[in-house]
Amino acid sequence: MRPPVALLRAALLLFCLLAASPASSSVLISELCDPRDNYLTDRFIEIYNSGTDPVDLTNWSLVAVANNVVAYTWPLSGVINPGQALVAGNSTTVAVFTVNFPGAWSTANANWNGKVGDGAKLINPSGAAVDIVVATGTLFENADLVRKPTVTEPNTTYTPAEWTSAAVILATNASPGSHGGAPPASGPAISGVVTTPPLPSRRMPSMSANVVDTTATISTVTLLWGTAPGSLANLDSDGAPLGGTTFRTTATIPAQAEGTTVYYEIQATNSAATTTNSSVRSYFLPYSTTIHQIQGEATTSPFAGLGVVTRGVVTARLGTCFVIQEGAGPWSGLWVRSSATPAVGDSIAVRGQITESDAQGLAGNTLLTSAVLIGTWPGASVPAPAIVPDSTAASEPYEGVLVAVTNAACTNSNVGGGVWRVDDGSGPLLVDPTGYAMVLTSERLLSGDGADGIHERAVPASTARRQMSSKVPITRRRSFSRSRR
């Protein structure tokens, strides 16, 4: 029997309405955290499955929004189970917590600080934003923004009544990986991950960790590693007990090429088949290079932003910085900032990161920061200073190089700030009496005898030589190291 036309039309209309309605989602954004300390590495966003069924996250993404523009996107993957909370964050953290979706978040979140226009969007496989929270005022600066457990549906409009905020110092003062007061799923607890050696070079490192399970027996402890944070497909053999709860991997990560970043995590499984992964960590294999190569015969080092290992002789010290030199002549010097205190005349091997954007007074200089000494050999010969005109001493090739100027006259003994000016006829050179080592500035002078253009500032090799008056010649072969700012 044919259905009545009216009934058929009603059925078709109902079908069309159902087909046009988007599928509801039980996955929502549950937490945004901007801790006061270690904020660049430890900021995180959490998602939560409030439903009763697992959700496949393939082709989903989580977007961090800063100042109302996209700051960073995490591609999501795997399955989020009912009642499970998963964390998106940086590939390495200072406070120890599990990051399920790691990435280079710390390089993109400088403006994500819980103020107007900051927040997150959850995007489903169709590309639609199913959940949005974007601050309309200062919402979670130095704080943890948590969705109330009674909220079980996502919302594309930020609704203040759905959220609570509390100040936090550390990310672990918040609740990464749990939501609604429920603790994370039970299983092995991983802590104390240690890399040996702590600063790997091309040598193959091994890892150890403390693994504890109070509800079951530890079955396996495995190292996963790779050269991309989202793909740790390489499996090391199971960890071997070192005694107590400490396990060490029985094989090492193979040696990689210079300039490679290696990412790794520890995975532990218990007898109840519950698996826990540590947060993803990483190490960078530095470039082994010379000072001349670091300087690159250019205004900006070709190694800026990269880790290097280099060698040189310490020629001067100034506060937390010292200068090393490899050989003599242009492009042979390098400024180093380190807590180490090598003596002038020590030959050293040192590891650190090259920057041209120092925030502590040496911006514009090629500087080795966070430097760690990996070898010291006292009693080396300090290179003789290069005898150069004033104009050359102030040039880029002699940055960090021990130099001397001859037959220079002091043309102004009080430029300002204790700085004085000398000139050997080739052009003026500013001299800073602070310390004993070197140039600290390139700046436009607006004091003393007026604007004087952009010059370099040198520091004499001995503070005893600071007493000078206008037009008095500088002692011949006065030694300087040169820097710019």
pLDDT digits (tens, 9 = 90+) for 241-268: 655 566 766 667 788 888 888 888 888 8
Quick one: tokens of 252?
């090492």
With contact defined as beta carbons under 8 Å apart, do 237 and 251 qualify? Answer: yes
Quick one: tokens of 430?
């500013």
Domain identity same for 165 and 112: yes
Output the CA torsion 151→156→159→161 (10° steps).
Answer: 0
In a domain, 61, yes or no: yes
Q: Are strands 402-405 and 409-416 parallel, antiparallel or unpaired?
A: unpaired
**Rounded mean pLDDT of the chain?**
77
Domain identity same for 30 and 160: yes
In a domain, 87, yes or no: yes
Q: Would the pLDDT of 76 be above 70?
A: yes
In a domain, 28, yes or no: yes
With contact defined as beta carbons under 8 Å apart, do 403 and 431 qualify? Answer: no
Q: Would the pLDDT of 10 be above 70?
A: no
Single residue among 233, 251, 284 that ends a domain in this structure: 284
Domain identity same for 339 and 395: no
Single residue among 324, 347, 377 that ends a domain in this structure: 377
Domain identity same for 234 and 311: no
In a domain, 248, yes or no: yes
Single residue among 259, 284, 309 that ends a domain in this structure: 284
Q: Are strands 442-444 and 428-431 parallel, antiparallel or unpaired?
A: unpaired
Identify the CA nearest to 479 among candidates 382, 386, 347, 345.
Answer: 386
**DSSP state at residue 365:** S
Quick one: tokens of 431?
């001299």
In a domain, 5, yes or no: no
Segment 83-119, tens digit of pLDDT: 899 999 999 999 889 999 999 999 999 999 999 999 9
Q: 228 — phi, psi (to 5°)? A: -140, 135
In a domain, 244, yes or no: yes
Quick one: tokens of 168?
């936090």
What domain range includes position 312?
A: 287-377
Reported as a pLDDT band with limits 50, 70 and 90, residue 144 is: very high
β partners of residue 368: 336, 354
Domain identity same for 261 and 326: no
Q: Would the pLDDT of 3 be above 80?
A: no
Task: Tell me the chain's radius of gyration from C-alpha atoms.
Answer: 30
- Burial (CB count <10 Å: 0-12, 13-18, 19+), residue 197: exposed
Domain identity same for 151 and 127: yes
What is the DSSP code string of 157-180?
S--GGGEEEEE-SSGGGS-TT--T
pTM of the model: 0.50
With contact defined as beta carbons under 8 Å apart, do 282 and 225 qualify? Answer: no
Domain identity same for 165 and 42: yes
Ranking 172-176, 321-325, 423-427 by mean pLDDT, the lowest is 423-427
In a domain, 416, yes or no: yes
**Domains in the chain: how many in total?**
4
Domain identity same for 205 and 154: no
We report the CATH number of the domain holding residue 325 as 2.40.50.140
Reported as a pLDDT band with limits 50, 70 and 90, residue 438 is: very low
Rounded-to-integer distance, Cα 64 and Cα 133, Å = 10
